[in-house]
Amino acid sequence: DVKVTQSSRYLVKRTGEKVFLECVQDMDHENMFWYRQDPGLGLRLIYFSYDVKMKEKGDIPEGYSVSREKKERFSLILESASTNQTSMYLCASSGWGGGQETQYFGPGTRLLVL
Amino acid sequence: AQKVTQAQTEISVVEKEDVTLDCVYETRDTTYYLFWYKQPPSGELVFLIRRNSFDEQNEISGRYSWNFQKSTSSFNFTITASQVVDSAVYFCALSGGSSNTGKLIFGQGTTLQVKP
């Protein structure tokens, strides 16, 4: 079975802190994605990566950066956390088949920024 | 532009009722893929089904069935004899065949509540 894990299920941080969200997949997938999910707004793509050290901005990249040093690991970084970044963060991965590939999701991290 | 619309925000049914979740999509791609995901209260999105644009055959998996109609750009999901465990948020999603990265466009989701 495909397994995508995220480092924390729940996280509480202070405004201005640097926050790291880690995601690891065990299926040797090329593509990895970070989404945030907010009530009424659905899932919105923050960043994605199609290869090691490669990244592309999604729909809402402002305030975030990412790092992919190894194929199995994709990190989302909040350089200076703000209260409007309180959200549910979901990581996903998929193979290199383009649009036909299924994205598999991790359990999510609920981040609260105080 | 690609778009997915799930017009039903919330649906409430009583256990054993059948329920259909609607999904309408827009795309200019001739090859595309449609997905349904389930998000239970625990938060993880669980993959349910993938359909490609060339395969309009309906699919049944246990109590779940999917009706794909290109003529109306719809990919509806029916749960037969619903159960309390079906309570979740359900997302419909679309990816284009021209995409080499598999980016998904999600609908807003439909919250299904099944009451005992």
Inform me whether the pLDDT recorded for B89 exceeds 90.
yes
Give the residue, B100 or A98, on which the prediction is more confident: A98
Q: Which residues contact B10 (CB under 8 A, 6 or more apart)?
A: B110, B111, B112, B113
Give the residue, B16 or A95, on which the prediction is more confident: B16
Mean pLDDT within B26-54: 92
Asked if B44 and A2 count as a contact pair (C-beta separation under 8 A), the reply is no
- CB-CB neighbors (< 8 A) of A60 in chain B: none
Query: What is the interface size between A and B, counted as CB pairs within 8 Å?
Result: 72
Inform me whether the pLDDT recorded for B36 exceeds 60.
yes
Confidence of residue B97 (pLDDT cuts 50, 70, 90): low
Q: Do B103 and A105 touch (CB under 8 A)?
A: no
Inform me whether the pLDDT recorded for B51 exceeds 60.
yes
Give the residue, A113 or B56, on which the prediction is more confident: A113
Over residues A8-24, the pLDDT tens digits come to 999 999 999 999 999 99
Task: Could you list the beta-strand ranges (E) of B1-116.
Answer: 3-5, 10-14, 19-21, 24-26, 32-39, 46-52, 59-61, 64-69, 74-79, 88-96, 105-106, 110-115
Over residues A31-88, the pLDDT tens digits come to 999 999 998 888 999 999 988 988 999 999 999 999 999 999 999 999 999 999 999 9
Q: Do B101 and A48 touch (CB under 8 A)?
A: yes
List the single residue in A33, A104, A110 with the smallest CB-CB distance to B47: A104
Inform me whether the pLDDT recorded for B34 exceeds 60.
yes
Interface residues of A toward B, Cβ cutoff 8 Å, are 9, 31, 33, 40-43, 45, 48, 50, 56, 58, 88, 90, 92, 94, 97-108, 110
Other C-beta atoms closer than 10 Å to the C-beta of B15 total: 14
